[in-house]
Chains A and B, each alone.
Chain A
Amino acid sequence: MSLLSLKRLTKNFGGLTAVNNVSFDVEPGAIVGLIGPNGAGKTTVFNLITGIYAPDQGEILFAGKSLVRLRTHRIIAMGIARTFQTIRLFQNLTVLENVLAGCHCQMKGGVVASLLHTPLQRREERKAIVGAMSILSFVGLHREAQQVAKNLSYGNQRLLEIARALATRPKLLILDEPAGGMNEQETGRLVTLIRKMRDQGITILLIEHDMSLVMKVCEQIVVLEYGSKIAEGPPEAIKQDPRVIEAYLGTDSDW
């Protein structure tokens, strides 16, 4: 069974059809790329999967369960995590606290436990901090744990977003332009990180404009244009697909 499957997904904004009848599957353990020219509807697809928008038509199944009309935090708790195209960290909180946000749905302590710091609550809190620190080590940000998030470099902020997403213990990780604004060296480390996450059993779906990165890490690529899917397949096939080449002609993306 596919981990995630989109079936005939459609979303309109006023008169504009941002996503038009799009279907594709993501198999467990895969690294799938979602590409297409600007305004093709890639981020809208992500927002539909994570419940930020409700689709007008179609179905989204995650491990066999429908995600349509579930609230975002429920979807996250089911095992989907995401990062944002424009970095959305909790800028004034520390790096550790940002990761603890991802741990939130793994924890239980409510108002009363929090008011009284019950032994159970303290144990849970310690466990969360240990878990968050090991995730920070995993992405290489453990030394910055007590720093304020806004003081991190751009590339590190992207990594922190990934760390926060990982803290939710996702089965599927959705990355929206993870290499945006990164230099070559940082992108190289990102590629290693993406592969490492996959090796830990996390399925990855990503949007990326850096074609060399997409071709390097993705095993399966879905191409959108004007909200519709125009191609799907392994990188070699996509590179040679005439419709994809046509869609990208005249844009500044280099292969």
Chain B
Amino acid sequence: MTNQRTIITISLANVVFASLPFFLNTYWVDVLNSIGIYSILALSLNLIVGHAGLFNLGHAAFYAIGAYTAAILNTGYGIPILALLPACGFTAGVFAVLIARPIIHLRGDYLCIVTIGVGEIVRIALINDVFGVTGGANGIFGIARPSLFGFSVRSPQHFFYYIWTFAGITVCLFHLLENSRFGRALNYLREDEVAAEGSGVDTAHYKLAAFVVGAVWAGMAGNIYASKMTIISPESFTFWESVLMFAIVILGGSGSIPGMLLGAFLIVGLPELFREFANARMLVFGAAMIAMMIFRTQGILPAKQRRYSLPESSGEESGTG
């Protein structure tokens, strides 16, 4: 019953949401597109921060690697941007393996600092035109729009459907991922690393896996961003981007998919509604983060307990195995 009702509610909400571009002007559609990209980023960071409990404040680095992979291969070799989605995920994932492997054993707060350092090194490398391919501080321009079967994604309205379809697929896949052996393993290591290892979970493997899956998705989000903007530069991938994603995860509700979407709407969308206070938005987020930790650690929409459908016979026979 409740399950059916949930499905109907979600479908209705989706229909309403999908019709929004017909009612909103281009500006607001573009805001929704930004929210969509941040939702994807927050969902990917949520695996690392929310589920595995690893504090990553350098997520913008993976986002940047994806965006630059798309830009370099598209402008340099003319490969269609949509075909580069897997490649962007791949390079970001490989980068995650390379940097995460040596630092993965570090304790929470140290890991946090190192990820900040990695994010900065990547940004500095991009500014310094590393390998002569990143275009330095000016970045790369002239990135193609995505096109599929001759249909080109151009206007913000087109991008709305492109981005939110991708976000929708991400939500579905990550929902399945959460409710599986993999998702549980991440939670075990967040709750108690020693006990997880002592229960037979390869904690080092899962920490790395969390980073890699998160990075792959952030890399693909980078591709989408590059094709939406057609121009990218190191400025778009500063520490503050990482902080923004982190704030969405923490305020939205660590480990909760609806929390990520709500968080993205609040943190990216609200400042657009109150433009006169735009300067104060980071100040409000800062204060909100403190308040949230003191009064509601689990975030606005906390993750729900997983429910399992139990086999019928169990429960009745007691004491014997």
A interface with B by C-beta (< 8 Å) = 50, 52, 71-73, 76-77, 81-82, 84, 88-94, 96-97, 100-102, 104-105, 107, 109-111, 113-117, 121, 124-126, 128-130, 133-138, 140, 142-143, 145-146, 148, 164-165, 167-168, 196, 200
Tell me if B44 counts as interface (CB < 8 A to partner A).
Answer: no
Flag if B200 contacts A104 (CB, 8 Å).
yes
Question: Of A90, A136, A137, A200, which is within 8 A of B191 by CB?
Answer: A90
**B181 partner residues in chain A, CB cutoff 8 A:** 100, 104, 107, 109, 114, 121, 124-125, 128
Which residues on the A side are within 8 Å of B197 (C-beta)?
Answer: 71-73, 76
CA distance A107 to B196 in the complex (A): 15
> B231-272 interface mask toward A, CB cutoff 8 Å, 1 = contact, 0 = none?
000000000000000000000000000000000000000000
Q: Apart from A101-B201, A102-B199, what are 10 other A-B pairs with CB-CB below 8 Å?
A: A71-B204, A72-B197, A89-B192, A100-B181, A115-B173, A116-B173, A124-B181, A130-B314, A134-B321, A145-B308
Cα–Cα, bound, A73→B307 (Å) = 27
Question: Are the C-beta atoms of B318 and A121 separated by less than 8 Å?
Answer: no
Q: Using Cβ atoms and an 8 Å threshold, which residues of chain A touch B200?
A: 73, 76-77, 81, 101-102, 104-105, 168
Q: Assess whether B203 is interfacial by the CB under 8 Å rule.
A: yes
A-B contact list, 25 entries, CB within 8 Å: A52-B198, A72-B198, A73-B200, A81-B199, A88-B192, A94-B305, A96-B308, A96-B310, A101-B184, A101-B196, A101-B199, A101-B200, A104-B200, A105-B200, A109-B180, A111-B182, A111-B209, A115-B177, A115-B182, A121-B181, A129-B310, A137-B314, A142-B314, A142-B315, A146-B308
A89 to B315, CA, bound (A): 22
A155 to chain B, nearest CB (A): 15
Cβ–Cβ contact A146 & B213, under 8 A: no
Q: Which residues of B contact A167 (CB under 8 A)?
A: 199
Cβ-defined partner of A133 (8 Å) among B182, B209, B310, B320: B310
Provide the residues of chain A in CB contact with B213, threshold 8 Å: 111
- Which of B173, B191, B209 counts the most A-chain CB atoms under 10 A from its CB? B191
Which of chain B's residues have a CB closer than 8 A to the CB of A113?
180
Contacts of B307 in A (CB 8 A): 146
Known: A101-B196, A133-B314, A142-B315. A114 touches B180 (CB 8 A): yes
Given known contacts A114-B182, A116-B176, A143-B315, is B198 in contact with A138 (CB within 8 Å)? no
Query: Does B276 have its Cβ within 8 Å of any Cβ on chain A?
Result: no
Contacts of A125 in B (CB 8 A): 180-181
Chain B 277-313, CB-CB to A under 8 Å as 1, else 0, gives 0000000000000000000000000000111101100
Q: Chain A residues with Cβ under 8 A from B321's Cβ?
A: 134-135, 137-138, 196, 200
**A76 x B199 contact (CB < 8 A):** yes
5 residue pairs, one from A and one from B, having the closest CB atoms: A138-B321, A105-B200, A114-B180, A114-B182, A76-B200
- Are A142 and B318 in contact, with the CB atoms below 8 A? yes
A133/B311 contact (C-beta < 8 A), A73-B203, A107-B181 known: yes
Instruction: Name the CB-closest residue of A to B194.
Output: A88
* Complex interface: chain B residues within 8 A of A137 (CB): 314-315, 317-321
Q: Is the CB of A93 within 8 A of B314?
A: no
CB distance from B206 to the nearest CB of A (A): 10
- B residues within 8 Å of A by Cβ? 173, 176-177, 180-185, 187-188, 191-192, 194-204, 209, 213, 305-308, 310-311, 314-315, 317-321
Report Cα–Cα, A114/B177, bound state, in Å: 5
Number of A-B contacts (CB under 8 A): 148
Q: Is the CB of A104 within 8 A of B185?
A: yes
Chain B residues, Cβ within 8 Å of A109: 180-182
Q: How many Å lie between the Cα of A89 and that of B195 in the bound state? A: 7
Question: Whole-angstrom distance between the alpha carbons of A137 and B315 in the complex?
Answer: 7
CA distance A89 to B317 in the complex (A): 25
User: Using Cβ atoms and an 8 Å threshold, which residues of chain B touch A88?
Assistant: 192, 194-195, 198
With most chain B CB atoms within 10 A of its CB, the pick from A97, A121, A135 is A97
Contacts of A71 in B (CB 8 A): 197, 202, 204
Contact A90 B195 (CB under 8 A): yes
C-alpha spacing A153/B41, complex, angstroms? 40
> Complex Cα distance A146/B310, Å?
9
Cα-based distance from A115 to B181 in the complex (angstroms): 10
In whole angstroms, how far apart are the Cα atoms of A93 and B308 in the complex?
A: 12
Chain A residues within an 8 Å CB radius of B319: 137-138, 140
Q: How far is the CA of A77 from the CA of B321 in the complex (A)?
A: 22
Q: How far is the CB of A82 from chain B (nearest CB, A)?
A: 6
State whether A104 touches B198 (Cβ < 8 A): no
Name the residue on B nearest A105 (C-beta). B200
Complex alpha-carbon distance, A102 and B188, angstroms: 11
Shortest Cβ distance from B196 into A: residue: A101
Distance of A91 Cα from B184 Cα, bound (Å): 13
A124 partner residues in chain B, CB cutoff 8 A: 181
Nearest CB on B from A30, distance (A) = 21
Q: Of A90, A96, A126, A148, which one neighbours B187 at CB under 8 angstroms?
A: A90
Chain B residue at smallest Cβ distance from A90: B191
* Shortest CB distance A61–B (Å): 20
CB distance from A92 to the nearest CB of B (A): 6
